Amino acid sequence: MMATLLFLALFLLGLLLALRPLLGPKEPFPEPPRREELLRELEVLKEEVEALEGEEKKRALARMVEVERLLEGYRPPAPRPFRPWPVALGLGAVVLLGVGLWRYTLPRLPGETTVTQRQEARELKALADKARRTGEVEDLLAWGRKAYELQAFDQAAEAYLEVLKKDPKNVEAMRRVGILLFMGGRPEEARIFLEIAQGADPEAAEGWLFLGNLYFQEGRMQEAIAAWEKYLEAGGEAKERVEALIAMAKAQAQGGKDGRSVYEARCAACHGLQGEGGVGPRLKGNPILKVPEAVREIVLQGRGTMPAVPLSEEELEALLGYLGSL
């Protein structure tokens, strides 16, 4: 936003420089050529001098001599020289600043979040165009991977679903569709895809992470622990975070209805153990926590990529109390 305003200001400044010669105070029109006036005056004097006498005749003759001298030495006023460099400079500034403004304010392409990602967004568009044109599985997978990387999840879902239409046994597409369903608040459908995918390819750490998150959110602690342990066995990179989740799930498996326990059991997998955020948004310091009714509605009904969380009234009240203390 600031870059746009800056370039707009510079663009207007360049435009002002270019138009300054036209917008400045107008030069007075040069006096009309006096030669015609002098000739007319001379003719009048010649006609009048014959009828004049004495001093008046002398003054008329003196004026005639003066006018004739003026006519002999008359030179038309030189035209004002045109200096093109200020206009050229101003127009050059307008062009350069206009290009800069165009560069930084173009509508962004799907998948783009910052100006520095324009190249990646172009690559995404090229992959999407190619995949839609050829319909080949490899092209669709390349599109889906790039879209998923750039968090263009609608495009990722479109690409992976097209893969499954052409190759229903494609494990990568199966797993990614399951993850996208989970993120879209459809845990029951997500579970089907993820369980099938992980059964076919148990070395895919990513699938175990999200499957563990899904089980954890549903309160199925033992299954969540097992999934996360398989994530670690498969070499998942988020080792410390998942180890903390496993420890928390083991503690929750022993029961507990206090707010912290409910949070750790149902929310921490996505929002972080201390509410610092993760797959889900940051909760610590989030102003929405000051509106318990809004939080209640989000928890029970879900919102965006967050699915509804089935809780008893006792658990919900305890959770709301704990969230209010973050």
What is the block-wise mean pLDDT of the chain (326 residues), using blocks of 10 residues?
57 61 50 64 74 76 74 58 55 54 45 58 91 94 93 92 94 95 91 94 94 89 92 90 84 68 79 81 83 84 80 81 80
Neighbours of 89 (CB within 10 A): 13
SS3 306: strand
Neighbours of 49 (CB within 10 A): 17
Q: What local confidence, expressed as pLDDT, does residue 180 receive? A: 94
Neighbours of 37 (CB within 10 A): 12
Q: Which two tokens stand for residue 55?
A: 């001093």
Q: Which two tokens stand for residue 308?
A: 């509804």
Backbone angles phi, psi at 258, to 5 degrees: -70, 160
Beta-carbon contacts of 49 under 8 Å, excluding residues fewer than 6 positions away, are: 57, 60, 61, 64
Q: What local confidence, expressed as pLDDT, does residue 255 receive? A: 58
Neighbours of 220 (CB within 10 A): 16
Q: Please, are residues 258 and 316 in contact by the beta-carbon 8 Å criterion?
A: no
Q: pTM for the whole thing? A: 0.51
Q: What local confidence, expressed as pLDDT, does residue 278 receive? A: 77
CA–CA separation, 137 and 131 (whole Å): 8
Q: Which two tokens stand for residue 303?
A: 């919102």
Q: Please, are residues 154 and 166 in contact by the beta-carbon 8 Å criterion?
A: no
Q: Which two tokens stand for residue 53?
A: 């006498």
H or E, element range at 81: none
Q: What local confidence, expressed as pLDDT, does residue 106 receive? A: 43
CA–CA separation, 110 and 151 (whole Å): 10
Q: What local confidence, expressed as pLDDT, does residue 309 receive? A: 82
CA–CA separation, 3 and 100 (whole Å): 10
Q: What local confidence, expressed as pLDDT, does residue 110 receive? A: 46
Domains of the chain: 119-323 (1.25.40.10)
Fill in the amino acid letter for 85: W
What is 232-283 written as a DSSP string? HHTT-S-HHHHHHHHHHHHHHTT---SHHHHHHHHTHHHH-TTS--SSSPP-
CA–CA separation, 298 and 294 (whole Å): 6
